Amino acid sequence: MKNFHVTVIAAAASLMFSATAFSEAMSKDAYKAAENQIEATYKSEKALCEPLSGNAEDVCVAQAKAKEKTAKADLEARYDPTEKNHYKARIAKAEADYDVAKEKCDDLSGNEKDVCVKEAKAAETKAKADAEVAKESTKGAEKAAEAKQDAAKDKREADYKVAKEKCDALSGDAQSQCVKDAKAHYGQ
């Protein structure tokens, strides 16, 4: 009788997990339809950029490409909901956001542009570090702790690079003090 209860509980758990898997997975037809919709949306958004000129057009196109890249990665994660595909979707979002932010920096010049690019890179680094933590957290507490430490280090280094770049706008003693303060603040 005891084995019967264990078997019933195991069967119920199995059904629950398989039902969850079926509800998350999508059919090949639905996948193709969604993929076609993503491509159609990209084409229409890119067409809206044509009347623009200069960097405004470049930013518009970068935004359209970013939406497409992110949507395709999200679609793949929905179609085949593995941790690897969810990780790829997070990375795609980070890279797409970086591409758009970097393109927006082209409107600037000099140190202001350099700082903008460093900030965009720092945001990408932070998003990728968070994606790595999310991926490793599924592998146990020890892996998650290591990933969090690595992420914190990467984020600190990215913030330090931004702070250091901001110091380049200064000169003389002010610049030296700024770099010294940044090193102390970010543990460099």
- What is the chain written as a DSSP string? -HHHHHHHHHHHHHHHHHHHHHHH---HHHHHHHHHHHHHHHHHHHHTTTT--HHHHHHHHHHHHHHHHHHHHHHHHHHS--HHHHHHHHHHHHHHHHHHHHHHHTT--HHHHHHHHHHHHHHHHHHHHHHHHHHHHTT-HHHHHHHHHHHHHHHHHHHHHHHHHHHTTS-HHHHHHHHHHHHHHHT-
Residue 39 has a pLDDT of 98
Please give the model's pTM, rounded to 2 decimal places. 0.80
Mean pLDDT by 10 residues, the chain (188 residues): 40 39 71 97 97 96 98 96 96 98 96 96 96 91 90 94 94 94 92
pLDDT at 139: 87
- What is the C-alpha separation between 48 and 66, in angstroms, rounded? 15
**137's tokens:** 């957290």
Whole-number pLDDT of residue 141:
87
Q: Distance (Å, rounded) from C-alpha 81 to C-alpha 138?
A: 14
Q: 185: which 2 tokens? A: 């603040």
How far is the C-alpha of 74 from the C-alpha of 86, rounded, in Å? 7
pLDDT, residue 14, reads: 42
How confident is the model at residue 138, as a pLDDT? 86
